[in-house]
Structure 1
Amino acid sequence: MNLPHDDKSCGWYAALPTPEKATGLAGRQVADYAVIGAGFAGLAAARRLAIHKPEARILLVDAQRVGEGASGRNSGFVIDLPHKFALENPDPEFKQRLLRLNRAAIGQLQSLIGEHGIACQWSHAGKYQGAVGERGLAYLAHFEKLLSELGEPYHSVEGAALAKVLGTSHYSRAVYTPGCYLMQPAALVRGLASSLPDNVELLENSPIFRVERDGKGGYVLHGANGEIHTQRLLLGTSIFTREFGYLQNRLLPVMTFASWTAPLDEAQSKRYSGVFDWGLTPADHAGTTVRMTQDRRIIIRNTYRHVSKYGRSVDDAMRNRIRASHRKAFLARFPELSDVEFTHTWGGVYAISRNFTNFFGQLDDGAFASACDNGVGAAWGTISGTLLADHAVGAQSSLLDDIQAVTGMPSLNPPEPFLGLGVRSRIMLAAWQSRSEL
């Protein structure tokens, strides 16, 4: 079994204080509900179950510490708009459903952050979609067309006005959309975990090696130092869902990488000519994402890899090559900050499907999952986990109708080695085509 195996180089997590000692799975435990995976989806599912079933015992178990996995490794965007290929869907109602779901997730997160005082650099900063050359500008024009058809507000920014925000003249033009929020992902998920209801017990550093039926309609979850017996199982495990025997040959493990700098000091901040706290995604999907954080760090994210063994597919040599490519992208944008060094380079693994379809719903009697976020984990994980709990207890809502209407079964993948060859070739082609936007 391939378990999560993330390196210790994630900048978001390293910037946090050392957490309190973890409680792990030990002995024989009996729970009314067990949730595997304490990322955005699992945290939301456990919280919602606790609201529905305040007298139930709910165990939330994760192979790592909260914030060490994919949910704490993204670029810190919570995006309201349909993402990438979903925005191309010809059905307007499909996109309106996604908007409702994403905005419900944002509202839910904002409420929890306020209620529990979660310090995570939460900011209603909006988002820039940026273009460098002709290829990017063509994608940007298409993006504007799709936004107009959707009836969503946006405005174009270019020239000196754009450079004044970003602190670089590298970009020709950008489209600003106001509905995106920015945050520190590892801080957010840790804050969500520390504010769970009293009837949710969090078990960390407790990988589950095997899930089997107990012959009585329930499940047994086997760990190294104990086991969990439960009648209801919810999986917020994204790509790792396939390790438990579900959705096999339907999910593709992809890792994307980021590097960030130390916080700019006073002298460096004076040389930097932009504002602090903004985020830019590339108009060309394979281009470079850039963020300036509230604590004055610059993040560069690009480079994708097919990682059949998740974190174990990455070694120091690969990470160093990626870091060098990030450095090139950084200097192209901020040459006046050449003395600012990267302190961390990290990757995060997520699940995509060949038909860009997210799975949501029942896997087996008493077993439910939200899997395959296709690269939009913060908003999608939050709302899908919430609604998965609703589904598991039989609660109905218009949002549950929405998510069931926009999800389905990820398509089957070809067998290895053809799958790996195809994915790697597609990633290499996309990088070559988008080289001017990197």
Structure 2
Amino acid sequence: MPNRTCTPKIPPLDRPTGWRPADEIVPVSEEAAVEGRYDWLVVGAGITGLSAAHRLGELAPQDRVLLVDARPVGWGASGRNSGFLLDLPHKFDLDHPDAARLHKIMKLNRSAISVLQEQTERLNIACDWSPEGKLQGAVKKRGTGMMRKFCDALDKIGEHYEVLDRQACAAIMGTDYYAGAVFTPGTVLVDPFLLVRGLALALPENVTLRDDAAVVEFREKGDGFDAQLRLSGGETCPVSANRVILATDPYTAEFGYMKNRILPTITYASITRALTLAERKRYSGRMNWGLTPADAGGTTLRMTADGRLLIRNHYGYAPDYRASGRDLAKVAEAHREGLDRRFPALSDVPITSTWGGVVSLSRNHATFFGEMAPGVYSANCYNGVGMTRGASSGRLLVDLAVGHKSQELEDVIAVSGRPSVLPPDPFRSVGVNGRMKLVEWESRSEI
């Protein structure tokens, strides 16, 4: 193993998720002593890292495990997403002609949902777990055409769905803005912040969590790995480990792996406060539903279990992993207009937070899973389906590392690949930004 040292960039101290007030997004564990040697170092306490840590408690309870994150649990993408645990292949995967491959993806997703359900019940994690299914909606002709393609794909793999017209959509969502939608029953809706915080608060006994510990130096050695951690107080702390799981997704290149293969992309979301009793009387739809767009460039919507409206759209290239204040202000205005078009009777319900979340895309839509170097394991480029794919990948990386064979492990290897190399800058940034602007323009009727 070559000796090499990396100095990873620390995730930015940007505006966090709006699922909870900012003053509640504090470290879960900032007192634990962590200096020393471990059997495992897991970097990243999002859904992938937490799932890996729980699996290590099952398969290697005698091993010492250190789980670290530069920011509080829930600060990153696992606490910033829209809270869909998707069971079906999503977006680009559905375009694949191999039905057997699609069935493998569904099995992995459904297994992840089943494991998370068991954990939320056994560990008493209150995260608004709601097996409500989801809508895939269309506003205009472009979207309805993509709805038909979605139905064709579901027919190919024998999945049940229901096509809803404008009136049926309005009965659920309280708006006649949508021309139609496809309802599929297998998706679970959650509060993603509460889900990952709950998993972090109930880790196995052999796992030590420190979620104010940024890896500022990472070095491969002949007998394992050394890392320097910077704690929230500014002090540094050395640790070493025999094996490493990098649950770092878009940040993985900062550790020297997957360089020029991961495209960090930011998506934007806003959420309102909960509707008052008077506002609920003006709202004619149901509580607790979720809609993803038939057109990938369109708008995601949630009405949460506690009566908050969430809207997500607009994308951008994020080489520095953050949204600027200027971008957030522009997006907040666009989100306000989007909600008002859909729910004019609720135009006085204020948006309480607008934030950006970084996801990782690959140029060829491939997801990586496996051992990147001897003793270093990772899964990358979830391409916007991070919660279910991350949950299964975290567990199965442990299975791969300890030699625990299963059909699920064979399936995740079969559906994964090698993200292709990205062009260098400035061609990358110009091309990506141009492509995203084109997609946004083409999808403008669905936003």
Common topology (TM > 0.5): yes
Residue 92 of structure 1 is matched in structure 2 by: 99
Alignment of 1:139-158 (within 5 A): 139-158=146-165
Give the Å deviation of 1:23. Answer: 2.0
- Within the candidate set 198, 205, 208, 2:215 is matched to 208
Residue 232 of structure 1 is matched in structure 2 by: 243
Aligned equivalents of 1:434, 1:352: Cα separation in 2: 19
2:139 maps to 1:132? yes
Structure 1 range deviating more: 150-159 or 271-280: 150-159
Is the 8 Å Cα contact of residues 26 and 227 (structure 1) preserved in structure 2? no
- Within the candidate set 12, 15, 27, 1:8 is matched to 15
Residue 47 of structure 1 is matched in structure 2 by: 54
Per-residue CA deviations over 1:345-401 (Å, capped at 9, x if unaligned) read: 011101110011111100111111111111111100000000000001111000000
Per-residue CA deviations over 1:79-124 (Å, capped at 9, x if unaligned) read: 0000101011011111010001000000000000000110001100
Residue 194 of structure 2 is matched in structure 1 by: 187
Give the Å deviation of 1:8. Answer: 3.3
Give the Å deviation of 1:215. Answer: 3.0
Residue 349 of structure 2 is matched in structure 1 by: 340
Pick closer, same or farther for the CA change 1:219–1:178 going to 2, 3 Å: same
Give the Å deviation of 1:7. Answer: 2.2
2:26 maps to 1:30? no
Aligned equivalents of 2:28, 2:287: Cα separation in 1: 34
Alignment of 1:379-398 (within 5 A): 379-398=388-407
Is the 8 Å Cα contact of residues 50 and 394 (structure 2) preserved in structure 1? yes
Give the Å deviation of 1:54. Answer: 1.0
Residue 219 of structure 1 is matched in structure 2 by: 225
Aligned equivalents of 2:222, 2:156: Cα separation in 1: 53
Aligned equivalents of 1:355, 1:239: Cα separation in 2: 16
Aligned equivalents of 1:125, 1:85: Cα separation in 2: 23
Give the Å deviation of 1:158. Answer: 1.2
Residue 420 of structure 2 is matched in structure 1 by: 411
Residue 58 of structure 1 is matched in structure 2 by: 65
Give the Å deviation of 1:152. Answer: 0.3
Structure 1 range deviating more: 375-384 or 155-164: 155-164
Q: Tell me which amino acid in the other structure corresponds to 2:265.
A: V
Is the 8 Å Cα contact of residues 45 and 385 (structure 1) preserved in structure 2? yes
Give the Å deviation of 1:35. Answer: 0.5
Is the 8 Å Cα contact of residues 102 and 380 (structure 1) preserved in structure 2? yes
Is the 8 Å Cα contact of residues 213 and 229 (structure 2) preserved in structure 1? yes
Aligned equivalents of 1:87, 1:177: Cα separation in 2: 14
Residue 304 of structure 1 is matched in structure 2 by: 315
> SS of the residue aligned with 1:138?
helix
Per-residue CA deviations over 1:240-285 (Å, capped at 9, x if unaligned) read: 1000000000000001000011100011110000000000011111
Residue 120 of structure 2 is matched in structure 1 by: 113
Aligned equivalents of 2:276, 2:283: Cα separation in 1: 10
- Within the candidate set 400, 410, 432, 1:401 is matched to 410
Aligned equivalents of 2:118, 2:326: Cα separation in 1: 42
Q: Tell me which amino acid in the other structure corresponds to 1:200.
A: V
Give the Å deviation of 1:19. Answer: 5.0
Pick closer, same or farther for the CA change 1:28–1:406 going to 2, 3 Å: same
Is the 8 Å Cα contact of residues 25 and 72 (structure 2) preserved in structure 1? no
Aligned equivalents of 1:397, 1:21: Cα separation in 2: 33
Aligned equivalents of 1:369, 1:116: Cα separation in 2: 26
Aligned equivalents of 2:438, 2:390: Cα separation in 1: 29
Is the 8 Å Cα contact of residues 261 and 343 (structure 1) preserved in structure 2? yes
Q: Tell me which amino acid in the other structure corresponds to 1:415.
A: P
Is the 8 Å Cα contact of residues 360 and 383 (structure 2) preserved in structure 1? yes
Q: Tell me which amino acid in the other structure corresponds to 2:363.
A: R
Aligned equivalents of 1:223, 1:19: Cα separation in 2: 18
Is the 8 Å Cα contact of residues 2 and 309 (structure 1) preserved in structure 2? no
Aligned equivalents of 1:15, 1:167: Cα separation in 2: 30
- Within the candidate set 45, 66, 75, 1:68 is matched to 75
- Within the candidate set 357, 362, 366, 1:357 is matched to 366
Aligned equivalents of 2:103, 2:217: Cα separation in 1: 39
Residue 437 of structure 1 is matched in structure 2 by: 446
Is the 8 Å Cα contact of residues 38 and 62 (structure 1) preserved in structure 2? yes
Residue 271 of structure 1 is matched in structure 2 by: 282
Aligned equivalents of 1:277, 1:83: Cα separation in 2: 21
2:244 maps to 1:244? no
Aligned equivalents of 1:347, 1:315: Cα separation in 2: 9
Give the Å deviation of 1:233. Answer: 0.6
Q: What TM-score, normalized by structure 1, do the two folds share? A: 0.97
> SS of the residue aligned with 2:383?
coil
Is the 8 Å Cα contact of residues 359 and 371 (structure 1) preserved in structure 2? yes
Aligned equivalents of 2:421, 2:446: Cα separation in 1: 32
Give the Å deviation of 1:22. Answer: 2.9
Give the Å deviation of 1:181. Answer: 0.3
> SS of the residue aligned with 1:13?
coil
- Within the candidate set 378, 386, 396, 1:377 is matched to 386
Give the Å deviation of 1:228. Answer: 1.5
Is the 8 Å Cα contact of residues 78 and 180 (structure 1) preserved in structure 2? yes
Per-residue CA deviations over 1:263-320 (Å, capped at 9, x if unaligned) read: 0001111000000000001111100001000010001100001011002xx2211110
Q: Tell me which amino acid in the other structure corresponds to 1:268.
A: E
How many correspondences in the alignment?
435
Give the Å deviation of 1:21. Answer: 6.0
Q: Tell me which amino acid in the other structure corresponds to 2:427.
A: F
Alignment of 1:313-328 (within 5 A): 314-328=323-337
Aligned equivalents of 2:284, 2:313: Cα separation in 1: 23
Identity of aligned residues (%): 45
Is the 8 Å Cα contact of residues 28 and 211 (structure 2) preserved in structure 1? no
Q: Could you say what the CA RMSD is over the residues aligned between the two structures, in angstroms?
A: 1.4
2:300 maps to 1:294? no
Structure 1 range deviating more: 20-29 or 87-96: 20-29
Is the 8 Å Cα contact of residues 16 and 75 (structure 2) preserved in structure 1? no
Q: What TM-score, normalized by structure 2, do the two folds share? A: 0.95
Q: Which runs of 5+ in 2 are unaligned?
A: 1-7, 231-235
